[in-house]
Amino acid sequence: MRRMREDLRPGSRPRPESAFLIRRMTREDLPAVMELEKASFRNPWSFELLQRELSHDWSVIFLLEEPLPEGGKRLLGISIFWIVHDEVHVLNVATAPEHRRRGVGRELMEATLAEGRARKCSLATLEVRKSNEAAINLYKSFGFRPVGVRPNYYVDEGQPPEDAIVMVLDF
């Protein structure tokens, strides 16, 4: 866990085994995160909601970035989760559409679950769209198992409601 904590410091370098850099989101990141949200979801999180998450002690937002050859970094994905008592509750994992299938979601989930373990959590939970097979398979690869369904959980304007599958992972 020490390596994870070092990776999350502002200005930290990529981990040796990865070309990606994972760090905590700051207020200065809001415009870039909003762009990623809008590109990733039909109903993205609002600026206000993201800003509010930054102010909660129990809320964590990880950014996954890729260093650019010319300098700077490119935002590829985010993970938003809560740590409440001994539970990690994953609220949102997003990968920029043009960077999917590169391991971004996997690295974000690894960091999210590592943070939960470092904080002595015993359980992780999440909801996922029933139709999102790629995400369901990713979560299953970490050991998450489906435990229930939330009917009509996702309601998108102009689309029929969609159920969410509730998944749980015991640490």
Active site residues: 127, 139
Interior angle at CA 53, CA 20 and CA 120, nearest 5: 70
Rounded to whole angstroms, how far apart are CA atoms 79 and 62? 5
Cβ atoms 132, 97 nearer than 8 A: no
Cβ atoms 24, 61 nearer than 8 A: yes
Percent helix, strand, coil in the chain, to 5, is 35, 35, 30
Q: Which helix (H) or strand (E) holds 167?
A: strand 162-170
Residue 32 neighbours by CB under 8 Å, 6+ apart: 75
44 DSSP 8-state letter: P
